[in-house]
Structure 1
Amino acid sequence: MGDRETLKAELRKLSVKAIQAKMDLHDLSEELPINWISIMAVAQKAYDAYAELERKSRDLKALENT
């Protein structure tokens, strides 16, 4: 599998991970004030997932532009 295909596969996995993190954050918001103490941890997980997805997307674009 080439670099491009590998990055695309990683992006698909990261997208699923990011969507799940978003849903976890959404679910938490609906349950507030129950579990309010976990806001920071759940939000950080969502932030990290989307940051990683963005980095890999830029890597793929850079690879495709070379």
Structure 2
Amino acid sequence: MSDREELKVELKKLSVKATQAKMDLHDLSEELPVNWTSIMVVAQKAYNAYAELERKSRDLKAMEIT
């Protein structure tokens, strides 16, 4: 498998991870004020997942340009 194909597979996995983090954040928001102390942890997970997804998307775009 080429580097480009591997990156596409990784992007799909990261997309699933980011979507799950988004849903966890959404679920938490619906339960507030219960578990309000976990807001920062859940939000940081979502932030990190989307940041990683964006970085890898940029890497793929850079591969496609060259």
Which residue matches 1:52?
52
What is the Cα deviation at residue 17 of structure 1? Answer: 0.0
CA distance in 1, matches of 2:57, 2:2: 16
Q: Scaled by the length of structure 2, what TM-score is found?
A: 1.00
In 2, Cα distance between equivalents of 1:37 and 1:50: 22
- Tell me the CA shift for residue 11 of structure 1: 0.1
1:20 alignment counterpart: 20
Q: 1:8: how far off?
A: 0.1
Q: Structure 1 runs of 4+ off > 2 angstroms?
A: none
Matched AA of 2:62: A
Counterpart of 1:20, as a letter, is: Q
What is residue 41 of structure 1 aligned with on the other side? Answer: 41
State the superposition RMSD in angstroms: 0.2
Distance, in Å, in 1 between the alignment partners of 2:3 and 2:46 is 26
The offset of 1:47, in angstroms, is 0.1
Unmatched segments (≥5 aa) in structure 1: none
| Identity between Structure 1 and Structure 2 (%) | 83
* TM-score of the pair, normalised by structure 1: 1.00
Note the residue ranges of structure 2 that are not aligned, 5 or more in a row.
none
Count of aligned pairs between the two proteins: 66
